[in-house]
Structure 1
C-alpha cells in the first residue's frame, strides 16, 4: 500500500517508495508533478483519472476514489490500482493539498476474472448438460415405447406357449423396458428442474403438504402410514417443484419402512431469513457415511427388488432446494429412522 501527497500551490508531488514500485519507476526518472503522474496512467484510463481528480476539486468534494490501470515504464507491464484521495483546505476553505493511498489490486482482479471465467464455463457446461439430458431422454421415449409395446405383445401372445426359459426371457425384457421407461421419465424430471422452473411466489407450507398427501393417498392407505405435522409456514418458492420435494421425501419415508407401520412427522422452525423443514420417519435408517451419497443421481443403497426405484428422487430434491438457495441433508442411524432437513427462504426474502 503506497501513499502520495500533492501540494496544489507549487504542483509538487511526493510519492512513497511503494508507489514508485507499483508504477515501476525510480525517483530520478520521475519529475514529481501531476502531469508526470498522468503520463504513467494507462492511456485509455487517463481521461477518467484526470476527470475524477479535477472534478473533485471543481465540485469542492472532500474525497474521491477510483480504480485504473498504470503502465510500468521499465517493462511495459500493466497493473491495476485502487486509489483513494482526500483533500485538505486552508483557513479560507480553499483546497491546497491532496493526499491519497495507492493499492495494487492486480492479483485480486486477476483472481476475480479467473473465478468469473470458471463460473461462466460451469454455468454454460451445466446448461449444455441439462439440454443434452432433456433432448436425449425425450428422443429415447419413442423407440423405447415401441420396444416396450412389442415386448408386452410377445408376453401377451406367447406366455405359456413356449418353454419356461422363453417365458423367463420375455419377463426379463418386459421388466427391463419398464425400468428404462421409469429411468427416462425421472431423468427428464431431473433435467427440467433448472430448465422449466416457475417464478418464486409466497406459498403456504400447509398447501404444499396437502397437495403431496393428496397425490400419495393410495400409497399411504396401502402401507397403513400415519402422517402427522406441526403448523407449517409460508415460504417463497416454486409451488410445483416444492410439492415434488415434499412428495419425494414422504414417499421415501414410507418406502424405506421398518417392520412397524410407517410413522412420518413433518415440522419447521425459523432460522434467520430461512425456515428449516424436517421430515422424520421410523424406517430402516442408513449408515451416516452414506449421508451425502444418497443425494447423487442414480445412487442406491438398497436392493432394487426390495425397494424399487431409480435413485433419482433425492437428487431431484437437492436440485430443487439448491435452486431455491437452500440446503438439504439427512441425519440417520441404521434401524433408528431418518430425519431429512431442508431450508427455504422466508416469505418476502430475496
Structure 2
C-alpha cells in the first residue's frame, strides 16, 4: 500500500521531464529557423575559434555554404592583413565579454569586402569559456560611399587651392569647416589651428563685433553677405579684406551652410580716386568665383560640362593638359585674356603666346614636372589680347584617374602689378626687419641697465638694517624688509625679461642635442626639491634634435619647474614623452598637479600673467612666454591640456633632424 503513491508520482515526473524536453526541442527548432532566416550574419564558434554553427546570411557573405564553414577557423573568412586587428579584438572580448570592430573580410573566391563584427563571449554558469558568438554586417556599400565623398571633397579642395582668392566654407551652424591654401598662406596658420581656435581671432578688434553680427544675421536669413573688415596676416599686419559669402543648398533645397571668398583690397583703400572702379571690378570677380564654387560644391562629380562651367566663371586662367603635355582645355577667362579661341589654344597652341625668352624655360620645367609627377610653379610672360606681355604666376598639380597619372590641371594669375611693387615690398620688409632688431636690442639693453640700481637699492637697504639695527624699530625693520623683498622680486623680473629678450639672439649655433641628457640634467638640478616633495620624473626614450643647448635647457627647466611648483597636496609625478609626427617630434610634459583654472587658460602664455598670488606660488610669470618663444623660433607650436585638480600636459613640436 505504501509504494503505490510513489510509483504514480514517479510516472508524473517522467512525463513532465519528457514534456520539457519536447518543449526545449521545439524552442531550439524555432531558434534555429530564426537564426537561419536572420538578415544579419550570425555564427557560433568554439573555444579554439572554429565555426560550430553558421546561418545562411553569414555563409552567403563569405561565399561558403553553412556546412562548408563548420570546423574551419575564423581566419579563413578574414582578409590576411586585418587578422592582427581581430586577434587584438578577440583578446579584448575575453576580458570585457563583448567588442565591436571593423575589418575586411575575404570570400571563398578571394574577393575582399568590409564588415562590422560584434563578438560576444559564451560562458556557462560557472564562468567557463565555451566559445563566442559573432554577429556580422556587410558595410561595403557604406565604405564605398565614404570613398566617393572623400574623392569629391578632394576635387573641390584641389580647385579651391588653385584659386588666388581666400576661400572658406561654413556649415549650417555658422562654423567654418574649410579654408583653402591661399587663406592659410595669408594667415600663416594651419587648417587645424584655424578651425580649432576660430578664424575670428584674426579680425581687427574694432571690426569684430560688426563683422560677426553681419555674418550671424546673414546665416539666420540664409541670404548673401558682403562686407569689408581688417584681418591679421602672417606678418602681423592688418589688411583690408572684401569678404563675400553665399548660402549653399542641396538639390532638395536643404540649407547646408555658406561658401565665400576674400580679396585683399588694401591697395584700393589707399588709392581713393580709383576705389569705386576697383570695388566694382572686385565685385564682378567675387560674384563669378562664388557662383562657380557654389555650383562646384553641389555638383562637382556630375560631368565634364559642369567642371567647364565652373572654370569659365573663375577669374584665373585655368588650363588642363594630358599626359603628352598637350593642352586639352582652357577656360573662358584664358580665351578672353589672350583673344584666342579654344581651338587655337589646344594641343601646342597654348605655347604660342608665351614670351620667346621664357618659352624654353617654361617647356623644360613642364617636362620635369610631368616626368616626376610633381606640382608646377613658374613665373613667365604671356601676351594678352592687346599685344602686351603680362607677368603670369602659373601653378599646376598632377591629376589622376583611377590612380593613373592623367596629366595636369592648373591656373595662371596676372601678377604684373605685384612684380612692379616688388621693389617697394622688399624695402618694407628690410625696414621691418631692422625695426624688429632695434626693438629687441632696446629690450635687452633696457633690462640689463635696470639691474644695476636694483642691486644698489637692495645692498644699501641690507647695510642700513645691519649697521643701524639698534636705531630701527620693528615697523622700520618691516618696511626695510618690504624694500629688500621688492628689489629682489624686481631683479628676478628683470632677469626673466633678459632671458626672454635673449631667446633667438643667442650666439650659440644650433647643434644636435640629446633630449635624454637635457631632461636628466634638469632632474639632477631639481633632485633636492624632488626628494623633499617625494616626487619623481620619468621619461621615454627621447630624440636628438637640432637646437641651441641653452634654449633646450630653458624650455624643459621652465616646464618641469612649473610641474614641481604647482603640485598641490599630492607628491609631484612628472612624465616626459615624445612621438614622431612627420617632419616634427611632438613632445609632452605631464604632471598630476593642481591644473589651470578655465578662466586663466587664454592667458597662460601671456607675459607677467599669474593665476595665483605671489605668496602662494612665487615666480615672475614669464617662464611659459619664454617656452612659447623658443618653440615658435624653431617653427614649432605649443599648447596645453588641463583639468583642475588632476594635472596639466604641455604639448609642443620641434623639427626632427632628418
TM over 0.5: yes
Among candidates 249, 266, 274, match of residue 559 of structure 2: 249
Among candidates 221, 225, 243, match of residue 531 of structure 2: 221
- SS of corresponding position for 1:228: strand
Among candidates 572, 583, 589, match of residue 273 of structure 1: 583
- Could you tell me how far apart the structure 2 residues matched to 1:79 and 1:56 are? 15
- SS of corresponding position for 1:302: coil
Determine if the alignment matches structure 1 residue 206 to structure 2 residue 512: no
Among candidates 464, 467, 470, match of residue 154 of structure 1: 464
- Could you tell me how far apart the structure 2 residues matched to 1:54 and 1:270 are? 43
1:257-296 alignment to 2 at 5 Å? 257-296=567-606
Q: Which residue of 2 is the match for residue 326 of structure 1?
A: 636
On the 8 A contact 1:324/1:345 being kept in 2, the answer is yes
**What is the Cα deviation at residue 228 of structure 1?**
1.6
Determine if the alignment matches structure 1 residue 67 to structure 2 residue 380: yes
Q: Which residue of 1 is the match for residue 547 of structure 2?
A: 237
- SS of corresponding position for 1:329: strand
**What is the Cα deviation at residue 198 of structure 1?**
2.6
Q: Which residue of 2 is the match for residue 52 of structure 1?
A: 358
Q: Which residue of 1 is the match for residue 502 of structure 2?
A: 192
Over alpha carbons, which structure has the higher Rg?
Answer: 2
**What is the Cα deviation at residue 225 of structure 1?**
2.2
**1:254-313 Cα deviation digits (max 9, x unpaired):** 101111111111111121121111111111101244334111111111111110111111
**1:176-231 Cα deviation digits (max 9, x unpaired):** 11011101111111111121153222221211111211222233233332212222
**What is the Cα deviation at residue 343 of structure 1?**
1.2
**What is the Cα deviation at residue 159 of structure 1?**
3.9
**What is the Cα deviation at residue 326 of structure 1?**
1.1
- Could you tell me how far apart the structure 2 residues matched to 1:152 and 1:272 are? 56
- SS of corresponding position for 1:219: helix
Among candidates 648, 652, 658, match of residue 338 of structure 1: 648
- SS of corresponding position for 2:652: strand
Unaligned runs of 5+ in 1: 4-15, 26-47, 85-100
On the 8 A contact 1:80/1:105 being kept in 2, the answer is yes
- SS of corresponding position for 1:295: coil
On the 8 A contact 2:355/2:383 being kept in 1, the answer is no
- Could you tell me how far apart the structure 2 residues matched to 1:267 and 1:129 are? 36
CA RMSD of aligned residues (A): 4.1
Q: Which has the higher contact order (CA 8 A, sep 6+)?
A: 1
**1:301-337 Cα deviation digits (max 9, x unpaired):** 1111110111111111111111121111111021111
What number of residue pairs does the alignment pair up? Answer: 298
1:67–1:330 distance in 2 versus 1, CA, 3 Å = same
1:87-236 alignment to 2 at 5 Å? 103-106=413-416, 122-159=432-469, 161-196=471-506, 198-236=508-546
- SS of corresponding position for 1:172: helix
- Could you tell me how far apart the structure 2 residues matched to 1:306 and 1:334 are? 17
- SS of corresponding position for 1:335: coil
- Could you tell me how far apart the structure 2 residues matched to 1:270 and 1:192 are? 29
On the 8 A contact 2:362/2:380 being kept in 1, the answer is no
Determine if the alignment matches structure 1 residue 299 to structure 2 residue 605: no
Q: Which residue of 2 is the match for residue 312 of structure 1?
A: 622
1:113–1:319 distance in 2 versus 1, CA, 3 Å = farther
- Could you tell me how far apart the structure 2 residues matched to 1:184 and 1:238 are? 22
TM-score (norm 2): 0.40
**1:19-53 Cα deviation digits (max 9, x unpaired):** 89769x9xxxxxxxxxxxxxxxxxxxxxx945335
- Could you tell me how far apart the structure 2 residues matched to 1:225 and 1:56 are? 65
On the 8 A contact 2:513/2:545 being kept in 1, the answer is yes
Q: Which residue of 2 is the match for residue 94 of structure 1?
A: none
- Could you tell me how far apart the structure 1 residues matched to 2:418 and 2:555 are? 40
1:67–1:281 distance in 2 versus 1, CA, 3 Å = same
1:209–1:104 distance in 2 versus 1, CA, 3 Å = same
1:50–1:140 distance in 2 versus 1, CA, 3 Å = same
